[in-house]
Amino acid sequence: MNSIENLQWRYAVKKFDEHKFLSEEQINILKEAFNLTATSYGLQPVKMVVIKNKDLQQQLVVHSWNQHQVAQASHLLVLCIPKELTSEHVENYFKLVKDIRNTPDEILNPFKEFLTNDIDNKSPEVLFQWMKNQAYIALGNLMTVAANEKIDSCPMEGFVPEKYNEILDLDKYNLQSVLVLPVGFRADDDYMKDLKKVRRKTEEVVIEL
C-alpha cells in the first residue's frame, strides 16, 4: 500500500484490542522515527516516554478525560519537553555536531552564539510554546510512520499534564508532558473502524499559486 492509502486507513482509534501487542521491532521503529523527527535548528527539545505497564496505564485513564484507549493500547507514548531549556542544551548539541561531523569551531561558533543568545533572551512562556510546537511535529511524524507500519494510534491533547508528570515522576528528568499517543491495534468492535473518513476536497484546502 502507498502512503495515501495508509493515511486513508488511519483513524483516531476509539477502542484498542487489549489482547494484541506491538512487537519489539515495531516499538523500535517508532522510537527511531521519533528520534529522526525534524526539529527547529535540530535541537531536539523533546523526549518520549514509552509505557508498557497496564497498572500504570490504568492509573492514567482518569487523568485522560476517562479515555480508555490509554489503558487498552499496547503501549502509551507520552511526548515531553524540558521544564527548563538552557544554553547547556545548545552546548551539548554543538558538541554532538562536532563529534559526528568534525565541523571546525570557526564554523560552529557563530551559530552556537546565536542560538545561545536566542534561548537566553526568550521568556519561559515563549520557550514552552516553541518546544511544544516541536512535540507536535514529532506527533505527526509518529502517526504517519505508524500508519505505514499498520500500527493504530489515537493522538490526545485531552489529559491533565500535571497528573501525568506526578504519576510518571517526570520531575526527576526535568520533563513535563505535553501530548499523548496510545498505539496498538484497533478492536474489531470499534464503532469508528469502518466509517468513511470525513475530509474536505483537496482543492478546498490547498491553494496553488
Query: DSSP string of 118-175?
Result: HHHHS-HHHHHHHHHHHHHHHHHHHHHHHHHTT-EE--B--S-HHHHHHHTTGGGGTE
Question: What is d(CA 98, CA 129) in angstroms, rounded to the nearest whole number?
Answer: 28
What digits encode the pLDDT tens for the residues 20-72? 999 999 999 999 999 999 999 999 999 999 999 999 999 999 999 999 999 99
Average pLDDT, the chain: 97
Question: pLDDT value at position 1?
Answer: 60
> Structurally, how many domains does the chain consist of?
1
Mean pLDDT calculated for residue range 3-12: 97
Q: Is 48 helix (H, G, I), strand (E, B) or coil?
A: strand
What digits encode the pLDDT tens for the residues 75-100? 999 999 999 999 899 999 999 999 99
Specify if 196 maps to a domain. Answer: yes
Specify if 20 maps to a domain. Answer: yes
Please calculate the CA angle 160-162-166 and round it to the nearest 5 degrees.
120
Specify if 93 maps to a domain. Answer: yes
Percentage of residues of the chain with pLDDT beyond 70? 100
Specify if 107 maps to a domain. Answer: yes
Specify if 166 maps to a domain. Answer: yes
Model confidence, pTM:
0.97
Mean pLDDT calculated for residue range 124-136: 98
Specify if 209 maps to a domain. Answer: no
The answer to whether residue 172 scores a pLDDT higher than 70 is yes
60 near 70, Cβ under 8 Å?
yes
Instruction: Give the CATH number of the domain where residue 170 resides.
Output: 3.40.109.10
Specify if 124 maps to a domain. Answer: yes
Specify if 67 maps to a domain. Answer: yes
Question: Domain range holding 136?
Answer: 3-204
How buried is residue 131: exposed, middle or buried, by Cβ count under 10 Å (0-12/13-18/19+)?
buried
